[in-house]
Amino acid sequence: MKKNHVKELWREGKASVGTWVVLGSPITAEIIANMEYEWIVVDTEHGAIDIGTTQSIIQAILYTGAVPMVRVPWNDPALIKRALDAGAYGLVIPMVNSREEAIQAVQATRYPPLGIRSFGGPRTRLYGGADYFEHANEEIALMVQIEHVDAVNSADEILSVEGIDGFFIGPSDLAISMGLKPGLDQTDPRHVAAVSKVLEIGKRHGVQGGIQVGSAEAVNERIAQGFKFIALSSDEGFLRSAALSALGNVAKDRKAP
Amino acid sequence: MKKNHVKELWREGKASVGTWVVLGSPITAEIIANMEYEWIVVDTEHGAIDIGTTQSIIQAILYTGAVPMVRVPWNDPALIKRALDAGAYGLVIPMVNSREEAIQAVQATRYPPLGIRSFGGPRTRLYGGADYFEHANEEIALMVQIEHVDAVNSADEILSVEGIDGFFIGPSDLAISMGLKPGLDQTDPRHVAAVSKVLEIGKRHGVQGGIQVGSAEAVNERIAQGFKFIALSSDEGFLRSAALSALGNVAKDRKAP
Amino acid sequence: MKKNHVKELWREGKASVGTWVVLGSPITAEIIANMEYEWIVVDTEHGAIDIGTTQSIIQAILYTGAVPMVRVPWNDPALIKRALDAGAYGLVIPMVNSREEAIQAVQATRYPPLGIRSFGGPRTRLYGGADYFEHANEEIALMVQIEHVDAVNSADEILSVEGIDGFFIGPSDLAISMGLKPGLDQTDPRHVAAVSKVLEIGKRHGVQGGIQVGSAEAVNERIAQGFKFIALSSDEGFLRSAALSALGNVAKDRKAP
Amino acid sequence: MKKNHVKELWREGKASVGTWVVLGSPITAEIIANMEYEWIVVDTEHGAIDIGTTQSIIQAILYTGAVPMVRVPWNDPALIKRALDAGAYGLVIPMVNSREEAIQAVQATRYPPLGIRSFGGPRTRLYGGADYFEHANEEIALMVQIEHVDAVNSADEILSVEGIDGFFIGPSDLAISMGLKPGLDQTDPRHVAAVSKVLEIGKRHGVQGGIQVGSAEAVNERIAQGFKFIALSSDEGFLRSAALSALGNVAKDRKAP
Amino acid sequence: MKKNHVKELWREGKASVGTWVVLGSPITAEIIANMEYEWIVVDTEHGAIDIGTTQSIIQAILYTGAVPMVRVPWNDPALIKRALDAGAYGLVIPMVNSREEAIQAVQATRYPPLGIRSFGGPRTRLYGGADYFEHANEEIALMVQIEHVDAVNSADEILSVEGIDGFFIGPSDLAISMGLKPGLDQTDPRHVAAVSKVLEIGKRHGVQGGIQVGSAEAVNERIAQGFKFIALSSDEGFLRSAALSALGNVAKDRKAP
Amino acid sequence: MKKNHVKELWREGKASVGTWVVLGSPITAEIIANMEYEWIVVDTEHGAIDIGTTQSIIQAILYTGAVPMVRVPWNDPALIKRALDAGAYGLVIPMVNSREEAIQAVQATRYPPLGIRSFGGPRTRLYGGADYFEHANEEIALMVQIEHVDAVNSADEILSVEGIDGFFIGPSDLAISMGLKPGLDQTDPRHVAAVSKVLEIGKRHGVQGGIQVGSAEAVNERIAQGFKFIALSSDEGFLRSAALSALGNVAKDRKAP
């Protein structure tokens, strides 16, 4: 089976940097995947992206170096199974708040005997290789989102579940669960402490830490802090910021001479 | 009929600034159209965008202030008719190199007696208004692309054709037709002179000048030069530049501490 | 945040009239939304409409006065989250039969601290406005369907749940749960009594009453009865009835003279 | 090859009644095709309907009794070939104004030796039958649109071209080519005379007459006049008229009691 | 209501042979359905096929003799309801491992009083007939997948649930739940015994046996064994095997003379 | 620019073997492209495949070794430009019957100074490389179809046009233009002679010969004859033959024991 490059980086102790695609366009994904982003997560939680389109996006980036991943809308075995069969090499599962939910995510993601994933999905063998079944449990990266104060409190129970490779912090959702305002740059000490706590627990269990950031500077800080899976903006974010910034420098008075 | 805001700006002697969407995504168009871009051209010449998707993109931006326009793949009456019926308030016609071709573009774009556009296309009346037929010849902006040295030489014959509202210079195509390299910033004196010449001829015939540029600075220069329809980058360009630039500031050494 | 016009009407004590779109076509929705219908519900329960298409339909009607809403296929937090992120200003949740299910619908629909809706979905901010997060809990209309005799019996427990704005009666499903035949015009006293009972309970809790009807006359009767959210037919119903009726008047003997 | 029922009716001297689908929805087509409409024309001239969707619409109505036809956007051999390969049993060709254009339409529609249609398109053999190639020239109905005053003047030259089965009058386009207002009910004597003239010429050449009408009454009148292919409204027209008419009977004062 | 031909065959004591479509293409389904396959299951479990595409596939085969069926991704009432409303005449439900899960599948599939399926979905009445509601509980074939050793152990409890028409064995999943390798031809005595056991239990309860096979020979063996619903390969399997086999006979040395 | 492997094979004097995809499915293309087929032609002439889908199919096979090519529906510069911008590394142009038509194909395919292809289409640079413009004229393979007896007669004038890399014989169309029956295996001496003649003329002009065949045996014969670009069946052909052949071995008597 073709190796999961993100897991290779992790084995070398290196952080990986990727981004999200939320626009549902195979082309935006392809453009970004032709840069040095190490992975692309197709965000089917907040993007209106169906499974057919998810598969098209994954197909569009397979010739690049970026590892294709999917955030499913919910910790639901049907959604997880379909994302994997469409070719995802990694999963991000929203709102995992308890050990039970973590176990359910593992069950859905892993083939027996670790879990209950159903055999099938011939596309996976095209790209992954004929021995996909034998190695998928090992190569597929499973990340659970810690994005609620309840999950922080249960982090030890969650991250000690066998079969989980990483966690991913959604700063905004974590913040609003604490009564703070949403946003990527959270400076409230409670938020900062929660993130640190989860990171430490993850390290103890050999589970990689992931987080969403909004700038290159924040990427570098998070790497320094020990995060290994850092999401820098999204196709939507890149497009919006550049289009806005370009226009900002255009003269407002357009009366021609 | 709902007014064409770009034509209103022109009547006030003002330049308008817009951009292209080439990715075929109603969402990228919607994001940009929610900024202060005054028009969006759906580029069906170089974007793999079918007529169904073109219509979806136009629908997605109708609630914004940006005027929906289409660049058709070719000066072909079937393509022009369909773009208009899908709701385009403006057209950009590639590679118009002669008076005959300019007349053909007008014929396809205008209802009788000016042209041969077929009546139909109920969507136009939804957004445009019940009196769409009565005013479409006047409100629809028709721009022909001057993007070949032959067209420069025939600019006077082309731009004097009744029913043409503007011209649009494709700097790269014009350059390669002259044996120069493609690119938006052309400094070769022959290219510069050709652009100036066409602009002057356009002014003489009351025809608005349009051009593609790559930066806000270039927008401002072109406004100063007298251009009235300036295309600043594209959804693809914005996305690519921002994604690339963000990554440029990320540390290359990602060995975690 | 752009106001929800249906809620404004409710605050003025006025009924709103809308319809369903079940065909999955952004154009049928756009045509209807250009009339005086005050809202459009995209029916993803009985229509084969995916989330990508749901978003396209919503985009297609944003420039009209009709408020975009979605009936999700099931009371499922993933489906609710995605419909909201696609831009729905109102939700109709099928088969809510108990207080627990009503609470679950509220949880999925509302941001913390009222619920668990995840922050994200940049499209909502384009149309809704930059302060979407701050006001969404208030502007989004949440309606639960009372369409089973069990729900009628639990109406008090259901409609007293905080965060529910209205109920919607599906006459056919309610009928078949009672052993009656499906159909919009139910005259069986048990059905009539059940509807009245729910309406009264709704009024007591300040919860708006909604119902499906098949004719303008029935709309007027339901308004008189106190309903505030009345669904008049659907795109499919309109198309079918008109095509059938037109053909009914065509001569059967088509032997030409 | 499965017979073309419209041609069978013609052989019996009977008029056929059908309608247009312009919305690009396989479901609207299917709904109508389940009534007694004898044919459905997919209107790719004024509808934003790509060839993939055209094929889906045709597939969706094959189990009904309605004959699938296509109006192509233009008298272009590529468009004609693709519509036929997608399964059209009849074609309507816009704006045929001269004998040369009529010959070109025949060339594109018919296999050698009558024309130049390319062999291929395996779908046609699924539904049409294994002997599709042998009978297609005979079963496919080719109708040219007479919708310009020039075409009326050349009607004899046009309709005498071998391989043309019928003509179709577009009342609005014919009207605007004469300086009249668009609309289906044309009473100007010049328009009436033009239609009669073309009908007579068609009869002389054994070519069936087709026309667009807006009401069942007009269908009956046109049958009486000798037309054999009468288009009654469209999916868009049916939907719009019914939705508008339903709302017209709803009370404007919706203040609840 | 149009009869379910598979159920008719069962009533005559005959086995039916069909196949799966997993590629999400209405055309591959149509090609196969034009052969003598008696049913087609649209596999939305392992194929990346959304509900809109599911409906298109069903529409594309309605004119053929093949009965349209759907394998849903999961035993989930929302997925079941939507597949039925899209026109499925039969359902295959994955991973039914207990009596509770079997009851849940029946509940979701059947209208009251047998279950809780919601009335609606006008497409079903087009093809199924106006009396669809009255007969759907009887005509729709419901098959539960026995594909885990737990399900084998609970087969009696599962297959005795009223409203279940058949079971379907997924040989690969059953194998991996037993610690065997996946594959269609399972010869391990434990696997063979499990299949026989379920078949016997099915017979006792009047429930039809279904199974996936990879070759015509295996079809014949399974018929002889008493299976009544045999899935022979899939569109993907057919395509792959033929393309591979054709290439196998091409000379490797392609140096031209 | 990434090299065109088919051209590399030609430079080594080797024949290449590929196939067509006509079903419009990125997955069928991907399955085949994962075998040893050296190229895939997306057939937009006889397949109902729009430009958006064409691009998706090309994206889906870029990670494989198969070179992506497109048969356009017609020798039309707009269609050629769009196929190239979607990423085609080779083009097959139908029905080129004269030197003028051959020149027109070259003009549309090649950038200046050889032709008039417009610069643009950012996707080409992603996969092709940043220097796409500099090398595209050289790497893109342009093949014209010789499929009419007129083209055979003009083969010398056609194949001597600079910028044409190969010809492709459509055996069926050539046959029907000669009054023969369609089919891939043509044994009529006139057909055999015509094919040989064109092959000889091609060799004289250094133009590669291509042809459609139906079996591996025919591939080997055509290689021996000197053909360098041999199309072995299609996704549709593979699927159909395997599904039919599998069913042929299933017992017709399915009465269960």
Instruction: Tell me the CA distances in angstroms from B153 to B157, B187, B194, F107, one per residue in order.
Output: 9, 19, 9, 20
How many Cβ contacts (< 8 angstroms) between chains A and E? 60
pTM for this prediction:
0.98
In this prediction, what percent of chain A has a pLDDT beyond 70? 99
- Residues in chain D closer than 8 A to E59 (CB atoms): 26, 30, 56, 59-60
Let me know: does C159 contact C167? Beta carbons within 8 Å: yes
Answer whether E45 sits within 8 Å of A118, measured CB to CB: yes
Whole-number pLDDT of residue B23: 97
Let me know: does D88 contact D59? Beta carbons within 8 Å: no
- Residues in chain E closer than 8 A to F20 (CB atoms): none
Let me know: does C179 contact C120? Beta carbons within 8 Å: no
| Integer Cα distance of F76 and E47 in angstroms | 37
Closest to E89 (Cα-Cα) out of E201, E179, E162, E5: E5
Q: Does E212 touch chain F if contact means CB atoms closer than 8 Å?
A: no
- Mention every residue, 6+ apart, whose C-beta is less than 8 A from residue C195: C169, C171, C174, C186, C211
Copy the structure tokens of residue D3.
């017979």
- Residues in chain A closer than 8 A to F56 (CB atoms): 26, 56, 59-60
| Residue B250 forms part of a structural domain | no
Whole-number pLDDT of residue C65: 93
Q: Does D130 touch chain F if contact means CB atoms closer than 8 Å?
A: no
CATH value at residue D33: 3.20.20.60
Other residues' Cβ atoms within 10 Å of the Cβ of residue C207: 24
pLDDT digits (tens, 9 = 90+) for E203-229: 999 999 999 999 999 999 999 999 999
pLDDT digits (tens, 9 = 90+) for D168-201: 999 999 999 999 999 998 999 999 999 999 999 9
How many Cβ contacts (< 8 angstroms) between chains B and F? 59
Instruction: List residues bridging with D142 in a β-sheet.
Output: D91
| Integer Cα distance of C109 and C115 in angstroms | 7
Q: What single-letter DSSP state applies at residue D45?
A: T
Three-state DSSP at C238 gives: helix
| Integer Cα distance of B192 and B173 in angstroms | 14
| Residue B248 forms part of a structural domain | no
| Residue F251 forms part of a structural domain | no
Q: What single-letter DSSP state applies at residue B233?
A: E
Copy the structure tokens of residue A164.
């989980």
Which of D247, D249, D252, D253 to substitute to test the interface with C, most C CBs within 10 Å? D247
| Integer Cα distance of B66 and B87 in angstroms | 13
Q: What is the per-residue DSSP string for B114-141?
A: T--PPS--THHHHHH-TTHHHHHHHHSE
- Residues in chain C closer than 8 A to A237 (CB atoms): 122
| Integer Cα distance of B217 and B219 in angstroms | 5
Low-confidence residues of chain F, pLDDT below 70? 256-257
| Integer Cα distance of C210 and C216 in angstroms | 15
How many Cβ contacts (< 8 angstroms) between chains A and B? 149
Other residues' Cβ atoms within 10 Å of the Cβ of residue F198: 23
Whole-number pLDDT of residue C243: 97
| Residue B132 forms part of a structural domain | yes
Whole-number pLDDT of residue B204: 98
- Residues in chain D closer than 8 A to B85 (CB atoms): 46-48
Chains B and F touch (3+ CB pairs under 8 A): yes
From B143's Cα to the closest Cα of chain A, the distance in A is: 19
| Integer Cα distance of A10 and A229 in angstroms | 9
Q: What is the per-residue DSSP string for A187-243?
A: --HHHHHHHHHHHHHHHHHT-EEEEEESSHHHHHHHHHHT-SEEEEEEHHHHHHHHH
Return the residue matching tokens 């048969």: F71
Q: F26-33 and A51-61 helices cross at what angle (nearest 10)?
A: 40
| Integer Cα distance of D181 and B18 in angstroms | 35
| Integer Cα distance of A109 and A107 in angstroms | 6
- Mention every residue, 6+ apart, whose C-beta is less than 8 A from residue A190: A178, A180
Q: How many CA atoms lie within 13 A of B195 on its CB side?
A: 25
Other residues' Cβ atoms within 10 Å of the Cβ of residue D28: 29
Whole-number pLDDT of residue C252: 86
Q: Which chains, if any, share at least 3 CB pairs under 8 A with chain E?
A: A, C, D, F
Q: Which chains, if any, share at least 3 CB pairs under 8 A with chain C?
A: A, B, D, E
Whole-number pLDDT of residue E121: 84
Average pLDDT, stretch A22-26?
97
Whole-number pLDDT of residue B256: 63
Residue range(s) defining the domain that contains residue C84: 5-243
Q: Does E9 touch chain F if contact means CB atoms closer than 8 Å?
A: yes
Whole-number pLDDT of residue F256: 63
| Integer Cα distance of B230 and F104 in angstroms | 32
| Integer Cα distance of F122 and B235 in angstroms | 11
Copy the structure tokens of residue F44.
């937009």
Answer whether D59 sits within 8 Å of E30, measured CB to CB: yes
Q: What are the backbone dihedrals phi and psi of residue D149, each rounded to the nearest 5 degrees, phi first? A: -60, -30
Strand ranges for chain D from DSSP E:
16-21, 39-43, 67-71, 90-93, 141-146, 166-169, 208-213, 229-234
Q: How remote is the C-alpha of C67 from its chain's centroid?
A: 11
Confidence at A122, pLDDT banded by 50, 70, 90: confident
Residue A257 clears pLDDT 90, i.e. is over it: no
| Integer Cα distance of C233 and D239 in angstroms | 11
Whole-number pLDDT of residue A121: 84
Chains C and E touch (3+ CB pairs under 8 A): yes
Residue C127 clears pLDDT 70, i.e. is over it: yes
| Integer Cα distance of B123 and B118 in angstroms | 14
Other residues' Cβ atoms within 10 Å of the Cβ of residue F192: 11
Amino acid (one-letter) located at B253: D
If you measure CA to CA, which chain A residue comes closest to C133? A182
Whole-number pLDDT of residue D256: 63
Least confident among C51-60, D119-128, E59-68: D119-128
From A87's Cα to the closest Cα of chain B, the distance in A is: 23
Average pLDDT, stretch B150-159?
98
- Residues in chain D closer than 8 A to B54 (CB atoms): 48
ipTM for the complex shown: 0.96
Let me know: does C46 contact D51? Beta carbons within 8 Å: no
Other residues' Cβ atoms within 10 Å of the Cβ of residue D69: 26
pLDDT digits (tens, 9 = 90+) for C56-103: 999 999 999 999 999 999 999 999 999 999 999 999 999 999 999 999
Residue C256 clears pLDDT 80, i.e. is over it: no
Answer whether B46 sits within 8 Å of F120, measured CB to CB: yes
Which residues of C belong to the active site? 46
Q: Where are the alpha helices (DSSP H) in C123-170?
A: 123-128, 132-139, 149-153, 155-159
- The three-state (H, E, C) secondary structure of chain E, written as one string: CCCCHHHHHHHCCECEEEEEECCCCHHHHHHHHCCCCCEEEEECCCCCCCHHHHHHHHHHHCCCCCEEEEECCCCCHHHHHHHHHCCCCEEEECCCCCHHHHHHHHHHHCCCCCCCCCCCCCHHHHHHCCCHHHHHHHHCEEEEEECCHHHHHCHHHHHCCCCCCEEEECHHHHHHHCCCCCCCCCCCHHHHHHHHHHHHHHHHHCCEEEEEECCHHHHHHHHHHCCCEEEEEEHHHHHHHHHHHHHHCCCCCCECC
Q: To 5 degrees, how large is the angle CA F92–CA F98–CA F99?
A: 90
Whole-number pLDDT of residue B121: 84
Whole-number pLDDT of residue E257: 63
- Residues in chain C closer than 8 A to D66 (CB atoms): none
| Integer Cα distance of B91 and B143 in angstroms | 6
Answer whether F23 sits within 8 Å of E25, measured CB to CB: yes
| Residue D165 forms part of a structural domain | no
Query: What's the CA dihedral at D52, D54, D59, D61 to 10 degrees?
Result: 160
Average pLDDT, stretch C222-226?
97
- Residues in chain F closer than 8 A to E60 (CB atoms): none
Confidence at B194, pLDDT banded by 50, 70, 90: very high
Q: Does C154 touch chain A if contact means CB atoms closer than 8 Å?
A: no
| Structural domain count, chain D | 1
- Residues in chain B closer than 8 A to F80 (CB atoms): none
Answer whether B122 sits within 8 Å of D22, measured CB to CB: yes
Instruction: Tell me the CA distances in angstroms from D222 to C213, D201, F229, one per residue in order.
Output: 37, 16, 56
Answer whether C9 sits within 8 Å of D254, measured CB to CB: yes
Which residues of A belong to the active site? 46
Q: Which chains, if any, share at least 3 CB pairs under 8 A with chain F?
A: A, B, D, E
| Integer Cα distance of D205 and D154 in angstroms | 14
- Find the distance separating the first CA and the last CA of chain D, reported in whole Å: 65
Let me know: does E15 contact E223? Beta carbons within 8 Å: yes
Chains D and E touch (3+ CB pairs under 8 A): yes
Answer whether F123 sits within 8 Å of A60, measured CB to CB: no
Q: Does D124 touch chain F if contact means CB atoms closer than 8 Å?
A: no
Instruction: Out of A17, A25, A242, name the one closest to residue B254 (CB).
Output: A17
Closest to B114 (Cα-Cα) out of B89, B93, B98, B135: B135
Instruction: Out of C49, C73, C236, name the one closest to residue E122 (CB).
Output: C236
Has D46 been annotated as catalytic? yes
Q: Which chains, if any, share at least 3 CB pairs under 8 A with chain D?
A: B, C, E, F
| Residue A255 forms part of a structural domain | no
If you measure CA to CA, which chain C residue comes closest to E116? C177
Closest to C234 (Cα-Cα) out of D31, E136, E1, B60: D31
| Integer Cα distance of B63 and B130 in angstroms | 18
Average pLDDT, stretch E133-143?
98
Confidence at A256, pLDDT banded by 50, 70, 90: low
From F32's Cα to the closest Cα of chain A, the distance in A is: 10
Q: What single-letter DSSP state applies at residue D113?
A: T
Average pLDDT, stretch C120-134?
93
Instruction: Report chain B's mean pLDDT, rounded to a whole number.
Output: 96
Residue D255 clears pLDDT 90, i.e. is over it: no
Instruction: Report chain D's mean pLDDT, rounded to a whole number.
Output: 96
| Residue C44 forms part of a structural domain | yes
Let me know: does D196 contact D217? Beta carbons within 8 Å: no
Residues 32-71 (E) with a CB less than 8 A from some CB of F? 32, 35-37
Residue E61 clears pLDDT 80, i.e. is over it: yes
Least confident among B120-124, C101-105, E47-51: B120-124
| Residue A257 forms part of a structural domain | no
